Amino acid sequence: MSRFEVPMPQMGESIAEGTVSKWLRAIGHRIEKDEPILEISTDKVDAEVPSPVAGILVEICVEEGRTVEVGTVLAYVEGDREEGISSVEESVHSQSLKSSFVDSTVRKSVIDHNQKSVIGERSGGGTEVERLRDRSSPVVRKIANEHGVSISNVPGTGHLGRVTKTDILRFIKDAKIHSSHRSSESTTSPQPDFGSVSEVESGPHSEIDIWDFFYNEVEHPIFPVRPGDDVLPMDRLRQLTADHMVIAKRVVPHVHSVIGVDFSSVDRQRVKISQREGFRGRGVSYTAFVTWACSRLLVKYRNINAVLSGGDIIHRASVNIGIAVDLDPGLIVPVIRDADEFSLIETSSKINDLAVRARSKELSPEEIQGSTFSITNPGVLGTLVGMPIIPKGTSAILVLGAVEKRPVVIENLEKGVDEIVVRKTSLFSLGFDHRIVDGADAARFLLELKELLEAFPENA
């Protein structure tokens, strides 16, 4: 019989790790093909992992609660019968979309099974600490190979001395600095050995890797713990949120513009909608009105619906608006794709559906990716205005402040005097990437958004 790997699946383009939440089957249990055998959790979604074949669960490699990289083998299933490579490929090809992420791993398991056994015998020596230290991630091994560096020469700071991406990049950077000093000094004194870094001195890879580190890696400073302090490790969602916020602020020069909006016209439309047949007792949120209005303006303001990529500006073909949903604790931003194609009522239904499924962790990976513009509404919790961080891969985000009754000065044209009246108003804050969005364009966008909401069309 053949043993088949069950790997940690790739649940989205930005998700690199997953946590084993619960094993649904125990070792020795009989399972059918595509039958769920465990539940996993990522920072965005939860999912079940199915068995690639029918057979017996013979080994569990990752215990509940552990977080591992995508592609890590979680378990082994012993198939019912010996299957050739061609039959495995045919079987995998016919699997449903839900289990398609395991196909390459299943084929590799069959092809390399005997090779792995031989390699395991050859590398069986050494202590557990030594074996774990040499077991680096694919990214680390790739960087080491590109620069001709032996991982065994790199001081590791990870678990049990494991070499991390930060370790290998720092090692290469230091090696380049020392190499530069060597070339500028006319001395014959012995120089330190940096593990045959063959490409560091002449190739551009080192600089590229350092910039890659700057744009993708975060090391948070450590502070002393005082008596009586309560120290809790960050969960995976909080870790990723922390890293993403640092990177977003590190890369993008943030600028914010604020404008006040009168919601009187929107309120009148909300009342009319609530009185329609089939809508009694169901309202349309302020967020839905703002989302609908933004979707129409983003088609015009292309640089706000864009992203800076290297030396290019990518104007997105679609208007995909991410709506921040409070999970208490945590936050997730499901996406309304092609938002400019929906009516106001359709937009409201989309927002409600995504919010409900976000809080119950029923979103698919595709529903939290591909945003081109984001909207967040802390105003529902009483916040007057905010200065948001722009999500990575976009150029702008809009914050809605609390919609409250406030005194407003208006001009009474009939009487020719100014009057103080009570109106429902809100403050909007637009955070934008000043590399590609000029302040004047941001101001014009906010002004048109204000005008559209203050004279909201009845046929929206």
pLDDT tens digit sequence for 213-241: 777 778 888 899 999 999 998 877 788 78
Burial 130-145 (b: 16+ CB within 10 A, else e): eebbeebbeebeebbe
**More confident site: 161 or 71:** 71
CA pair distance 400, 356, nearest whole angstrom? 20
pLDDT at 129 over 80: no
- Domains (ranges, CATH) in the chain? 3-124 (2.40.50.100), 127-185+194-217 (no CATH), 253-454 (3.30.559.10)
> For residue 51, which of 78, 11, 71 has the smallest C-alpha distance?
78
Instruction: For residues 377 and 323, give the distance between their C-alpha atoms in angstroms, rounded to a whole number.
Output: 9
* The two structure tokens encoding residue 441: 């364009």
CA distance 227 to 10: 42
What is the mean pLDDT of the segment spanning 283-289?
Answer: 93
Burial class of residue 243 (count of CB atoms within 10 Å of its CB; 0-12, 13-18, 19+):
middle
Helix, strand, coil fractions of the chain, as percent rounded to 5:
40, 20, 40
**Residue 400 pLDDT exceeds 70:** yes
Range in 2-11, 93-102, 309-318 the model is least confident about: 93-102
DSSP state of 338: T
* Residues 135-163, mean pLDDT to the nearest whole number: 71
CA distance linking residue 57 with residue 413, whole number of Å: 80
Considering all CA atoms of the chain, what is the largest pairwise distance in Å, rounded to the nearest integer? 95
**H or E segment and range at residue 174:** helix 165-184
| CA pair distance 75, 5, nearest whole angstrom | 6
Which has the closest alpha carbon to 336: 288, 381, 301?
288
Which pLDDT value is given to residue 375?
97
SS3 257: strand
Write down the pLDDT at residue 18: 83
Return the percentage of the chain with pLDDT > 90, whole number. Answer: 45
The pLDDT assigned to 174 comes to 73
Q: Tell me: pLDDT of 204 over 80.
A: no
Residue 299 has pLDDT above 90, yes or no: yes
* pLDDT band for position 11 (cuts 50, 70, 90): low
pTM of the model: 0.63
